[in-house]
Amino acid sequence: MSGSEADRRIPLKRVRTRSRMSIDEKTSKTLKDLGVKAPEAVGELFAEVAAALGDERQALMTKGAANERERGLMAKELRDRWLARKGGIVALIDEHWLKPAPKELKPAVGRAFNELRKASASVEVDELLKSLPIRPAAKGQGKSSAAGQLPLPSLGEAAVAEAAGPDPTLPGHRRPLGSIHPVTRVMREIEEIFLGLGFAIESGPEIESVYYNFDALNIPESHPARDDWDTLYVNPETLLRTHTSPVQIRAMEKHGAPLYIICPGKAYRHENPDSTHSAMFHQVEGLAVDTDISFADLKGTLDYFAKKFFGDKIKTNFSPSFFPFTEPSGELAISCVFCGGQGCRVCKESGWVEVMGCGMVHPEVLRHGGIDPERYSGWAFGLGVERFAMMKYDINDIQLFQQGDVKFLEQF
């Protein structure tokens, strides 16, 4: 027996003696549910997972593939089962075992998880394609012609296939269907919620004037946002809009009051790209202008939106803030979607995550939009679509949305 075979057999005994639950069943439960209370039990549990990983990979190698296309599909299927960002076994272990692990088990679970991630590299598609064999043709197939005739000369597979002509029994070549980009998916979901509340959708130019982007929104020349290091200028009077708020001014000029709109679209800022910043991003801003509108209406609307988007268990919290185009201004925070408000590394143990700014529209902004602030009042809010998508799908790097990586995008 080779060393590698022995390594595979040891964990398998542990699987049978420890529990009859499958790996899929175990990774859907927490360590507490599985009764794991000691570092030794953590090691045994991860050994079972490593054994299952090796067994599934070996089963694939033993089975082989009929052709190159099937080999690629089989390799991708195994890779996605273990490494998919959403629903993959490694991702489930991170979510159900590592993140909620008690403090006394955290070091052991972390070390074992890192070892598992290294081992899981063996089921990456490129690695599988190096080892996954093509099954040989059935014995005698293609070796001779009809009975009594001389065998065919030795030809390459392509030449033989060409000589035989097309095989009508083979499946046709189909172009794989694409899917909706996660940012587009989230933006459409946000739009549907507000359309259901009676809001209309407004759009405007992405190359905007300084007046609509800053002056009409009560942002003076001394404001830091008007610096060249924060804004991408085309010329002294024209720029790439830094938010979708200019659409609000244009809509007020065009439609007057009462007005209920959302303004989805792209915005641009002079940012150094990293895991949470991008020079181009998407925003959805909302505006409501009518008689007898108060901050209570804003709170009720955003509370409804948060529960509709993240789920009924979400709680909301408003805290004071400052924006030049609203007064009073606030920040909306929601109970952490990852820990349920209990405290985790995402919410910095606070249980709350800030998701958008909001407030009552400043009277000067209403005047610039051609609306009498003595008769009408309004409220507005603004949110980043990528941030909502990252929270909804547990994505930790905003750059993934723009890299065009098919392995990432095909998960949605």
Model confidence pLDDT, tens digit, residues 35-59: 898 999 999 999 999 999 999 999 8
Average pLDDT over every residue of 377-393: 94
pLDDT of res. 155: 39
The domains located in the chain, with CATH, are 3-131 (no CATH), 182-409 (3.30.930.10)
Model confidence pLDDT, tens digit, residues 24-38: 899 999 998 888 989
Residue 4 pLDDT exceeds 60 = no
Residue 145 pLDDT exceeds 90 = no
Across 364-390, b (16+ Cβ under 10 Å) vs e yields ebbebbebebeebbbbbbbbbbbbbbb
CA dihedral for 290, 296, 300, 306, sign (positive or negative): positive
CB of 338 closer than 8 Å to CB of 346: yes
For residue 79, count other CB atoms closer than 10 A to its CB.
19
Average pLDDT over every residue of 194-198: 95
Residue 96 pLDDT exceeds 50 = yes
Across 179-211, b (16+ Cβ under 10 Å) vs e yields eeebbeebbeebeebbeeeebeebebeeebbbe
Type of residue at 316: T
Helix/strand/coil for 306: helix
- Give the pLDDT band (50/70/90) at residue 65: confident
DSSP state of 385: H
Residues facing residue 267 across a β-bridge: 281
CB of 76 closer than 8 Å to CB of 125: yes
- Give the pLDDT band (50/70/90) at residue 168: confident
- Give the pLDDT band (50/70/90) at residue 165: low
What lies within 8 Å, CB to CB, of 169 at 6+ separation is none
φ and ψ at 335, to 5 degrees? -60, 140
pLDDT of res. 12: 35
Phi/psi class of residue 133: alpha, beta or left (left: φ > 0; alpha: ψ in -120 to 50)? beta
Model confidence pLDDT, tens digit, residues 199-257: 999 999 999 999 999 999 999 888 888 887 789 999 999 999 999 999 999 999 999 99
Q: What is the dihedral of CA 213, 219, 221, 224, to 10 degrees?
A: -90
Cα–Cα distance for residue pair 244/248, rounded to 1 Å: 8
Helix/strand/coil for 162: helix
Residue 391 pLDDT exceeds 70 = yes
Structure tokens at 38: 């000691």
The average confidence (pLDDT) of the chain is 85
- Percent share of the chain, pLDDT over 90: 50
- Give the pLDDT band (50/70/90) at residue 172: confident
- Give the Cα-Cα-Cα angle 313, 314, 315 (nearest 5 degrees): 115
What are the helix and strand counts (H, E) for the chain?
A: 16, 10
Model confidence pLDDT, tens digit, residues 276-327: 889 999 999 999 999 999 999 999 999 999 999 999 999 999 999 999 999 9
Of 109-113, 174-178, 403-407, the one with minimum mean pLDDT is 174-178
- Percent share of the chain, pLDDT over 70: 87
